[in-house]
């Protein structure tokens, strides 16, 4: 790269629900927890430093979930950032239970979702969650019950905007009968595009698309030789190239690469200053 400017604002802006602007390069707070996304982080001071550094770098979109820890990520966000700076959007999720490390079980029963939502409000120290996302649509619970819950808590003023995670186009459309879906968070990265039809739908509809696992935990250069080759030519890392590719892929793309280290956070945010040519972008089309 020809610049080492660390400024998430260089990634551009997207307006959630057409009303709440965020810089497109955000921060995913899953990895500030322990191994297996379970328990506290090995270095709590560094985790706090990462969150505060994110704000310094103009990141104003932070994504977390009740299930990260569980509870640990939300608690650390509040400890590091409350009272939250103006313009910062904290997105969280509910709908998964955690039996143990690396274990995730859907639970979309409205009573359970209500308990999770109240817990998130308490841990984040707020009265209204900016963006609340259904972490999974539970196949064992009628969709009407889950979408109806989202509609109700939005009407009660506990949630400003609604999003979904790991949802199909058909599920998004059914959810939109109840609420305005402003974001969808599905697994997506430069080499894993299973959810491309959902991304195309979100692009057409102006719905924010939040790709989780955007960097294959930093191994994206190992999975594609062209990534490493082009990144080297541009003076960037493979991860920076992958972020720049995501940002160019769609104007609704909101990458949220996560990390538990300040140096890695700086590296990720530097990708906002990297512009891919159409030719380099087309190598991965």
pLDDT at 264 > cutoff 60: yes
11-33 burial, b at 16+ Cβ within 10 Å, e below that, comes to beebebbeebebbbbbbbbbbbb
For position 2, what pLDDT does the model report?
39
Active site residues: 68
For position 5, what pLDDT does the model report?
72
**Residue-averaged pLDDT of the chain:** 95
For position 1, what pLDDT does the model report?
42
Region 30-47: mean pLDDT is: 98
What residues does each domain of the chain span?
Answer: 8-282
pLDDT at 144 > cutoff 70: yes
Parallel, antiparallel or unpaired: strands 181-185 and 208-209: parallel
Phi, psi of 106 (to 5 degrees): -65, 140
Asked if residues 94 and 110 have their Cβ atoms less than 8 Å apart, the reply is no
Asked if residues 163 and 131 have their Cβ atoms less than 8 Å apart, the reply is yes
CATH fourth-level superfamily of 8-282: NADP-dependent oxidoreductase domain (3.20.20.100)
Q: What is the pLDDT of residues 58-72, one digit of tens each?
A: 999 999 999 999 999
Q: What is the pLDDT of residues 92-114, one digit of tens each?
A: 999 999 999 999 999 999 999 99
pLDDT at 223 > cutoff 90: no
Q: What is the pTM of this model?
A: 0.96
For position 192, what pLDDT does the model report?
87
Q: What is the pLDDT of residues 191-203, one digit of tens each?
A: 889 999 999 999 9
């Amino acid at each position: 790269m020809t610049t080492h400017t660390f400024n998430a604002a260089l990634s551009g802006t997207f307006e959630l629900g057409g009303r709440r602007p965020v810089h497109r390069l955000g921060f995913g707070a899953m990895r500030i927890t322990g191994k297996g996304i379970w328990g506290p982080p090995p270095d709590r001071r560094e985790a706090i430093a990462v969150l505060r550094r994110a704000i310094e770098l103009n990141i104003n979109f932070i994504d977390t979930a009740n299930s990260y820890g569980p509870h640990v990520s939300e608690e650390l966000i509040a400890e590091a950032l409350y009272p939250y700076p103006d313009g910062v959007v904290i997105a969280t999720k509910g709908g998964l239970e955690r039996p143990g490390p690396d274990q995730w079980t859907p639970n979309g029963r409205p009573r359970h979702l209500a308990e999770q939502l109240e817990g998130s409000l308490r841990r984040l120290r707020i009265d209204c969650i900016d963006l609340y996302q259904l972490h999974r649509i539970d196949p064992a619970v009628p969709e009407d019950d889950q979408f109806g819950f989202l509609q109700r808590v939005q009407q009660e003023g506990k949630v400003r905007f609604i999003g979904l995670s790991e949802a199909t186009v058909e599920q998004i459309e059914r959810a939109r009968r109840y609420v305005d879906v402003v974001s969808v968070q599905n697994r997506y990265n430069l080499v894993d595009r299973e959810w491309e039809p959902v991304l195309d739908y979100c692009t057409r509809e102006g719905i924010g698309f939040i790709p989780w696992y955007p960097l294959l935990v930093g191994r994206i250069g190992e999975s594609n030789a062209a990534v490493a080759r082009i990144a080297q030519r541009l003076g960037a890392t493979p991860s920076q190239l992958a972020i720049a590719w995501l940002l160019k892929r769609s104007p609704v793309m909101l990458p949220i690469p996560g990390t538990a280290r300040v140096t890695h956070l700086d590296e990720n945010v530097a990708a906002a200053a990297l512009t891919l040519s159409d030719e380099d972008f087309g190598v991965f089309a």
